[in-house]
Amino acid sequence: MIEAKEVEKMLRITIQNPYDADTAQPLQGTGFGLQSIRRRLFLLFGRNDLLQTKQEENSFITQINIPQVI
Task: Judge whether residue 3 has pLDDT over 70.
Answer: yes
**Residue 32 has what pLDDT?**
87
For the whole prediction, is pTM greater than 0.85?
Answer: no
For the chain, what is the mean pLDDT?
90
- Strand 59-67 relative to strand 10-18: parallel, antiparallel, unpaired? antiparallel
**Domain chopping of the chain, boundaries:** 2-67
**Residue 27 has what pLDDT?**
64
CA neighbor of 66 nearest in space, from 20, 5, 25: 5
Residue-wise pLDDT for 32-62, tens only, equals 899 999 999 999 999 999 999 999 988 999 9
Dump the DSSP string for 1-61: -EEEEEETTEEEEEEEEE--TTTPPPP-S--HHHHHHHHHHHHHHS-S-SEEEEEETTEEE
CATH class of residue range 2-67:
alpha beta
